[in-house]
Structure 1
Amino acid sequence: MVEAAFDVAGLVGHRYRTDDFYEVGREKIREYARAVQDFHPAHWSEDAAGELGHTGLIAPTTFLSTVAMLANHRLIETVTTAYDVVVQTDQVFEMYKPVLTGDQLVSDVELSSVRRIAGKDLLTITNTFTDQTGEIVQIMHTTMVGLTSDDVDAGISDMIERVIMSGLDTTSRAADGLPTSDPEPEIAANLSSISRTRVPRTAVRFEDIAVGDELPARTVHLTRGDLVNYAGVSGDVNPIHWHDEVAALAGLPDVIAHGMLTMGLGAGFVTTWLADPSAMTRYGVRLSNYTVIEAASTGSLEFTGRIKSVDPETRTAVVVIVAKSAGRKVFGLATADIRLA
């Protein structure tokens, strides 16, 4: 285990803004939609997106997780020096404005909390994405658990160094290697209200739903090739998703699907039913298990959902999503807040 040269909890509140903007590309949206098996036409066709009132392709719900990977790199490579492995446990997306082709996004990155539960550290990073108009389009909260050699095989760090993709800087950084904390961002950002005020164009009307109603079930299949593809598209190259030996050293029964991949599939399950991807305003998932993908067989995920609550005044509802793989629940708790026509 690498000993921490600093107290991780002491970094809570540290924040910085990315140096450059990320421009959302047409083909990147399509690549990501393919990776999470989301074939809603608005992710692929400008005409279909235009029918929903958008000026370009709309990105899938979890698309900005890939941008967060880039934005968070400097923070991640510092805080993770205290651990041998970091595993994602929770993710929350708050959508305030659809992400479209051509958007130029910057992110404020903050280590917003460190909690110790059952002897393990839970770290939450918050990304606030702002577009070229100065409006906040999405806020994302990512929670990870830090594992040490007490939890995984001590040789995992050396193995990762041998198999990780070339060109990645995996050397440890001291805390003073972080960019200067910036409590007052240069650009005053305003919280956009578009996702809360635009008229949704859902196939399902509010009058047609009731508490307890079930969404049409969906089963998706995953192969090792799907995991490798998602790793390349998302930038999440953690070897536990494609290397048997590293997965074994991490204490896993085999290679497992990315948590964000399963979340992307879950989001598409709901937005396909809605027929308007921009009608989802919040999506939160707590991971409770993993999806094992064996080399010699195809893995599968079964998604079901039901209406948990409705609000007639705002014509909104909350959907509870259940994801199962090999009979095990993959999502401990997953909900989507939606707006209906």
Structure 2
Amino acid sequence: MTSGELTRTEAIAEMVGEVFTTADYYEVGREKVREFARALHDDNPFHWDEAKAAEGGHPALLAPLTMVAIMGTKSQAQLLEAHIPGNLLKSGVLQVDQSFTFHKPIMAGDKLYCDVNLETYRTVAGADLFTVKTLVRDVDRGVLQESWTSLAGPGEEAGRLPDDFDDIVDRVIFSGADSHVQPLVPSSRAEIPAPEGGPWTTIAFDELTEGMDLPVRRQQFTRGDVINYIGVSGDPNPIHHSDAVAHAAGLDTVVAQAMLTLGTAAGYLTSFVGDPAAFRNMSARFTSPVYIPANEPAVVEYSAKVKSLDPATKTAMITFGASLNGKRVFGRCTANVQFA
């Protein structure tokens, strides 16, 4: 490094807050909504039945709460690969947190742009810790959703990965990932709207009590589930389908996508609440991977509790969690919901 040249950390930090947007919109298809709900084992009728959605006051099918994963993940990868220096997505990056703020529901027929930016960046003991913000806005309805994805990477030196790791990945990864990619374009921060007030078609607020438990749900995840989610969401990461890549990355075996297990948790919550549009925000920390054996399912147990109630606004905080073989999959998980 010559005098006056920025260090890697300084160069990355200079890009914090710089906003880029997708060059073209993503049109939400009615069958894509159903396809994504199916991948998440989400039977909420507002994702499947237009008549039921209309009865709830919605002019089209509602997308599952985490459907931003389809367009948002690609936009984040483009940002980090093409516009942020330092190769933050080098092999070994793990997602550690995910949070959402919901302003308006995403619906079939929406034409969505994604605004992305590096929101925070720091190093701890040489490792990269960073958060990418994704804002979703419709051509006509404005800002619909904000999400924050926090990741941890190995920093400048991956170290633990084998020398031939890239070759192992190249032998199994989807070969068309770079085809027809439209570049992101510079943008500015969008104006955040005031939240919509409903009313939403939920269970009655008066039916809730502080401390009440939601029914436990046990959900199977097989290799077929994670491979189907790859196709539906467009997630190309081979640790979700290749034992060779998973082992080379230091994992016991193939792991389920964090957004698959969290999206299924969101469906578990909306099945209790009723209307997905009633959710104001949701967040989760990923504490351990969900390993998927080759010849049998992994069974994840979802549970939730009404933590607190606000009678003045008819809102509730719900805490939720998931476990696999008694080990926590999520930590510090909350959702705030507006009830009828």
* TM-score, normalising length: structure 2: 0.90
Corresponding residue for 2:227? Answer: 228
Other-structure match for 1:34? 38
Partner of 1:68: 72
Q: Separation in 1 of the partners of 2:165 and 2:277?
A: 41
- Please tell me the root mean square deviation across aligned C-alpha atoms, in Å: 2.1
Look up the match of 1:340: 339
Task: Give yes or no for contact 2:12–2:121 (8 Å, CA) kept in 1.
Answer: yes
1:6 shift after superposition: 8.2
Q: How far is the alpha carbon of 1:7 from its aligned partner?
A: 3.4
The amino acid that maps onto 2:21 is R
Greater Cα offset, 147-156 or 300-309: 147-156
1:15 CA displacement: 1.4
Distance 1:96 1:233 in 2: 24
After superposition, residues 13-92 of structure 1 pair within 5 angstroms as 13-78=17-82, 79=84, 81-82=87-88, 83-92=90-99
The match for 2:177 among 149, 160, 168 is 168
Report the CA distance between 1:10 and its aligned residue.
Answer: 3.0
Q: Provide Cα deviations, 1:113-136, integer angstroms capped at 9, x if missing partner.
A: 112235421121111111122521
Q: 2:102 aligns with which of 84, 95, 102?
A: 95
| Superposition map of 1:128-167 within 5 A | 128-133=135-140, 135-147=142-154, 148-167=157-176
If the length of structure 1 is used for normalisation, what is the TM-score?
Answer: 0.90
Alignment correspondent of 2:325 = 326
- Cα-to-partner distance string for 1:139-193 (whole Å, 9 max, x where unaligned): 11111111352243343222112211012239xxxxxxx85643x36xx645152
Deviation of 1:5 (Å): 11
- Aligned partner of 2:290 in structure 1 is 291
Which letter does structure 2 place at the counterpart of 1:308?
K
Determine helix, strand or coil for the equivalent of 1:7.
Answer: helix
Partner of 1:175: none
Contact 2:21 2:185 in 1 (8 A): no
Deviation at 1:276, TM superposition (A): 1.4
Q: Distance in 2 between matches of 1:142 and 1:305?
A: 22
How far apart in 1 are the matches of 2:242 and 2:9?
30
* 1:89-135 Cα shifts (integer Å, max 9, x gaps): 11111100011110111121111111223542112111111112252
Number of residue pairs the alignment of both structures matches:
326
Over 3 Å counting, the alpha-carbon distance change for 1:179 and 1:42 in structure 2 is: closer
CA distance in 2, matches of 1:100, 1:193: 17
Compared with structure 1, are the counterparts of its residues 179 and 221 closer, same or farther at alpha carbon in structure 2 (3 Å cutoff)?
closer
- Residues 215 and 118 of structure 1: CA distance in aligned 2, closer, same or farther (over 3 Å): farther
Alignment of 1:109 onto 2:127:
no
Counterpart in the other structure of 1:237: 236
> Percent of counterpart pairs with the same letter?
37
C-alpha separation in 2, matches of 1:108 and 1:133: 16
